[in-house]
Chains A and B, each alone.
Chain A
């Protein structure tokens, strides 16, 4: 497979991957209990995700947020608020 074909064949969709990762992270913080999972997930995303990744997941939420679990959705909403607040 040539590099070009390899690129074309790559079935990775960055957004799907970001949604999957956000749900994974949210899952961990949900398991901790204490009612802070949304905030903890948002903090994790802020501390470890590069801005364009955060921008992409925020844009995805604004477009409906398909695939995001409740906690992940709440976390991304926090990111969005913070981004708007500057």
Chain B
């Protein structure tokens, strides 16, 4: 294995269909019109030295190194900013060019440290490479004059350092911050010789608006910006391409290694989801894999009040199997179940549901998608025919209008947010429907045309009002509806939304938005011509989550914005493998590929393959498992890679359910919050330690490659396999690829997927089968999966979680850029420098009414429970609305949330909780007790001498 070096073509591809022929160094070359000479040369295998140019950024023309001669033209034009022209004859290597380039490089070198041995990048420093390539052997200028050698380093960012002495002010990283990331945190301060890179208003990287995406570090051609891990460990010596284990964007990374040690994670240019970009989490927050908190040995205990006892794998597995069989013997076959993880691979997820169905003998398997995107599955399946987003991410480049609802992409899906911002800067229009003024509403060079700051819980109402405008103002794409959708269903829907009670004027007071704004947004969406919907958990995590997804599907069908590039209905998935865990049959009513367990033919297929009869009845969903536990009929649970105590709503109910069980098995990297209630702990492996696949939000299946041996001894699927064997249902896989082969045999939409195919294509979007051997980037082209698109009526039903005198405010919850989900991974990295506690956002007016000031401790109470945290007074939230994150167990925000849930799927209503906020002086009694419980239940008994 060696280090992967991607080819840098110098400037982006032109994307023109018309071709231009020219001559470069005597060779005839044909490239798309508007291609730069620099790129044309690179594509022809002719390398022109360059410094300020890189193919992820627009040409800049400042370094004066990539000069060429063109016959018949005067001067030495920069090849990066000079487009090709028909018939021109270009020379890239002449004596004149060599002399000029060498002179330019000598000037750069004159103000650059010449300590080659102490340069952290060593041979990878582009400046040194170019100097060598132009033949620079000496620098005639001394160091007595004015230089930048003494400029102070900026080491404020925990992940990378900036050394101005090594900066050549080529602006690559300033442009990366602008063009690639879209944050505009960097600039060039000063003029002439005094020019220098500045983060924010020269306030240092940590204190500036920099979001630590790493684009600048990647773009820097010298060692001015460099990862601290490279400074500490030296340059990596080999790379392994793998897939990020954070959000649903699914960025491809090169894990750059020294032996089994990760030196850095660098976004892979060929990654089709991220195209070489990254965010702070994927780029830098991988250190948790080596954190001292990791548990590497299995542990058991009789009671959750006992200290943990380390045991061998054999004992832990045998004990678990014996306990589950004992429980089933006592309480019945349906008294145990499992929870699959959206953080684990498709293969691991598939195996857990197979374990439950085949070895437990029931269908009590569910996944954390239950509490996030299960309404997406229901809503899209019942309207379009399949439970997945309709587009690839690249589709956004063709969108003219984006409707973002209940999503905060700059925090939760930052790499895709950068794509969105790039398209918005290019002229696309934006509608944001969200109770909060999320960053996308107004961020550098991006401003939403309309922001509808709806009252939490009124999504369906406002979507019906938008539909009302579309129908009553004649904005329906009638040809599309006539050809592609069920006519009668459309007629009934149109009649429903056209009723006066669904007009913006009637709905405006309900959702707290100016009716004129709703009308304008509706007209913009309908006008398109390409309008794309992007949504997140602000849509699904409601008592009408499924209805909201249906309403979005209705809008797309009514306006013909489905079935081609630039349009569609796009769920932004929270965790890395939410789509995959759903695809793999993790829901209690479905086998892989979303086929109902009651379907005899499908069941027969699996029964033949698995050689065991399957139960035809749906199993328990996660919330129903807790109900059944409290009722005494569900007593054993195997949880792989989830922390339901912290992530699921109504913590009191979750913990009551777990406390009632007789055997809770947690398989995880850390003793998470759920492990407090566990009787068996099975150490998990990180994404760096396993082979498998993740499926991102655009249905893209990508390989996860093992870069180091599992520190716990086993990949997670191997642990599941051992457990199955101990239960008397032996499995015989020797590699994750064999599990994928089985998935492909049993799942029509995955029929063409294999590790070999993924190696060949890089990635593939399902359906991938005989009809679509290279996958399906855009779905429903020419026809819906279900045949005709189906409109459903979306009657607005207000949630029963109501504000009143005791609980007058509405709480909504969400995520922040630097932390991820329950924070188990990111809290164990330096990301906590940016966010070390959950804060309660409260509007200044609500704060003043309660005598609350910035940073004060406040008690947040609902009908379900109370917790305390510090206040952040901000106008990002509207009066009457408060907001917090759920990343920190000390806050345990889900103590507040209730057990109200989506009517169709039981997806919890995280986004609407009636609360009161009052000043307090510290943590609540419950928090103090919980903290004590955490200490008591995490005790590990010392190993005995005999062991």
Contacts and interface: CB of A to CB of B under 8 A. Distances in A.
A3 B628 contact: no
Nearest to B625: A50
Contacts of B733: none
Interface in B910-947: 926, 929-930, 933
A14 interface: yes
A28 B652 contact: no
A28 B655 contact: no
Contacts of B621: 48, 50
A1 B842 CA distance: 28
Contacts of B630: 7, 10, 12, 14
A47 B618 contact: yes
A48 B655 contact: no
B588 A31 contact: no
Contacts of A52: 334, 628, 633
Interface string A38-69: 00000010111111110000000000000000
Contacts of A53: 620, 624
Nearest to B800: A20
A48 to B, nearest CB: 6
Interface string B44-56: 0000000000000
A12 B899 contact: yes
A59 B588 CA distance: 23
A33 B793 contact: yes
A16 B899 CA distance: 12
Interface in B300-341: 304, 334
A24 interface: yes
Interface string B384-426: 0000000000000000000000000000000000000000000
Given A3-B304, A28-B547, A48-B618, A14 B793 contact: no
B429 interface: no
Interface residues of A, number: 28
A74 interface: no
Chain A, interface SS category = helix
A44 B547 CA distance: 15
Nearest to A10: B656
Nearest to A23: B903
Contacts of A10: 630, 652-653, 656
Interface residues of B, number: 45
B628 A7 contact: no
Contact of A17 (B363, B793, B899): B899
A17 B492 CA distance: 32
Given A24-B543, A47-B589, A50-B617, A3 B334 contact: no
The winner among B596, B620, B621, B903 for most chain A CB atoms within 10 A is B903
A14 B627 contact: yes
B781 to A, nearest CB: 28
B501 to A, nearest CB: 13
B906 A3 contact: no
Contacts of A47: 589, 596, 598, 618
A85 interface: no
Given A7-B659, A12-B627, A50-B364, A21 B334 contact: no
B789 interface: no
Contacts of A6: 652, 655-656, 659
A51 B617 contact: yes
Interface in A1-39: 1-4, 6-7, 9-10, 12, 14, 17, 21, 24-25, 27-28, 31-33
Contacts of B543: 24
A32 B630 CA distance: 35
B636 interface: no
A85 to B, nearest CB: 16
A50 B656 CA distance: 21
Contacts of B334: 50-52
Interface string B578-601: 000000000011000000101000
B189 interface: no
Contact of A25 (B793, B794, B903): B903
B795 interface: yes
Given A50-B618, A50-B620, A53-B624, A7 B656 contact: yes
A7 B660 CA distance: 7
A7 B626 CA distance: 11
Given A6-B656, A52-B633, 15 more contacts: A3-B304, A3-B655, A7-B656, A12-B627, A12-B630, A12-B899, A14-B628, A17-B899, A25-B903, A28-B904, A44-B904, A48-B904, A49-B618, A50-B624, A53-B624
Across the A-B interface, the 8 shortest Cβ-Cβ residue pairs: A3-B659, A31-B795, A24-B903, A10-B656, A7-B656, A14-B627, A50-B620, A6-B656
